[in-house]
Amino acid sequence: MTEDMLWLALGVTLRTKRVTFTNLINNFETIERVFDASARQLCCVKGVSMELAGAIKRAPESDEFKTELDAVQRLGLKIVTIRSPDYPENLRHIADPPQLLYVKGRLEPQDSFAIAIVGTRTVTHYGRQTAKTLGADLASMGITVVSGLARGVDASAHMGALTGKGRTIAVLGSGHGKMYPAEHASLAEEIARAGAVISELRTDTEPMPGNFPVRNRIISGLSLGTVVVEAGKRSGALITARLALEHGREVFAVPGNINAEMSAGPNLLIQQGAKPVLSASDIIAEIAPELKGMMKEGTVKQAAEAKLKLTPEERKVYEMLTQEPQHIDEIILSTALPTPTVSTTLFNLEIKGLAKEMPGKLFVRTL
């Protein structure tokens, strides 16, 4: 039996016992050692009773595991464990990371550059358009857009990212076999082709209310920051924002009408210190230092491919750059583009491996 199958067998047996799952892996270090351990040894781990120890020992041969394995194969899912190189790096560092993820689509290293966009299901026209615009603009800049596939703001953010021809990740509050909401099944397929649809829950898990606050820790954990577009004062989106703070991540909010119910949440967050967002550039400006610190040198091939996909503004700025350092003010004068546009464009070129910032706001071409 493969390592991933053993992880799945343990996950099926433990169901929602997340802390026990973590305790077992930390105690025995490898999944093979968990199953090699005796029932008495398993019972030494906090959270494991003699009854549960027996169930763990029987897990690889259980009908429950075989049914789940059939569902994973039928739904085209991949099992990604916390020990896998494919596991999202941002998520690995939260206090309570899921030990196992069911993934439809693919997770990629670039998903470390992710922003969550969340909000109410009862979205207004303003909220829907704002979520779509932010999703599209961030995706077009190479930022992965994370949300929860729910009606309203979530779906709009995913659709925007797809429009922006970028990556997006949907985090489910149900199992893959119980897609919720059902009308978003086709959207989920589109997301899987352009990114990933993920869940920590067994494939047959119903979308129970208690699943969603727990799911929200994954949304915020995947992301460098969370943007709340529209939300009432008791919205689950505010839970995601609170979790983002607990994870040491940024919190952003879209300001709205002070008399509008669905703007009460974002306005309250801004009052409490969240960064107000009027455009995707506001988000990029705030997280730019962290993004630069996470960037790795791209290969020549990747940079060459990036050159073929430049926007008109990126191409204009790129063509002004040389191997000799130029101050950003010179680039602004030479291109006749607005200062915010040049700042954002230079950052995008850095992300693509085509430019590099030197001390003193000096920039050079790298390819």
CB-based burial label for 269 (10 Å; 0-12, 13-18, 19+): buried
Same domain (yes/no): 198, 177: yes
Of 288, 314, 338, the one marking the end of a domain is 288
What would the two tokens of residue 30 be?
Answer: 């490898």
Domain count, the chain: 3
Q: What is the DSSP string of 33-83?
A: HHHHS-HHHHTTSTT--HHHHHHHHHGGG-HHHHHHHHHHHHTT-EEEETT
Count of all residues that appear for the chain in the document: 367
CATH at residue 261: 3.40.50.450
Same domain (yes/no): 326, 266: no
Mean pLDDT of the chain: 91
Same domain (yes/no): 315, 282: no
pLDDT of the residue at 304: 44
Whether residue 56 is contained in a domain is answered as yes
Residue 76: count of CB within 10 angstroms of its CB: 11
* Predicted confidence (pLDDT) per residue in 87-133, tens digit: 999 999 999 999 999 999 999 998 999 999 999 999 999 999 999 99
CATH at residue 337: 1.10.10.10
Same domain (yes/no): 201, 283: yes
What is the domain extent for residue 234?
Answer: 109-288
Using alpha carbons only, give the angle 16, 209, 214 rounded to the nearest 5 degrees: 50
Asked if 3 and 28 count as a contact pair (C-beta separation under 8 A), the reply is no
Indicate whether 296 pLDDT > 60: no
DSSP tag of 179: -
Q: What is the pTM of this model?
A: 0.81
Percent of the chain with pLDDT over 70: 94
pLDDT, mean of residues 198-221: 96
Of 231, 257, 288, the one marking the end of a domain is 288
Same domain (yes/no): 37, 186: no
pLDDT of the residue at 272: 93
Indicate whether 288 pLDDT > 80: no
Whether residue 135 is contained in a domain is answered as yes
Residue 88: count of CB within 10 angstroms of its CB: 28
Same domain (yes/no): 123, 173: yes
Same domain (yes/no): 283, 323: no
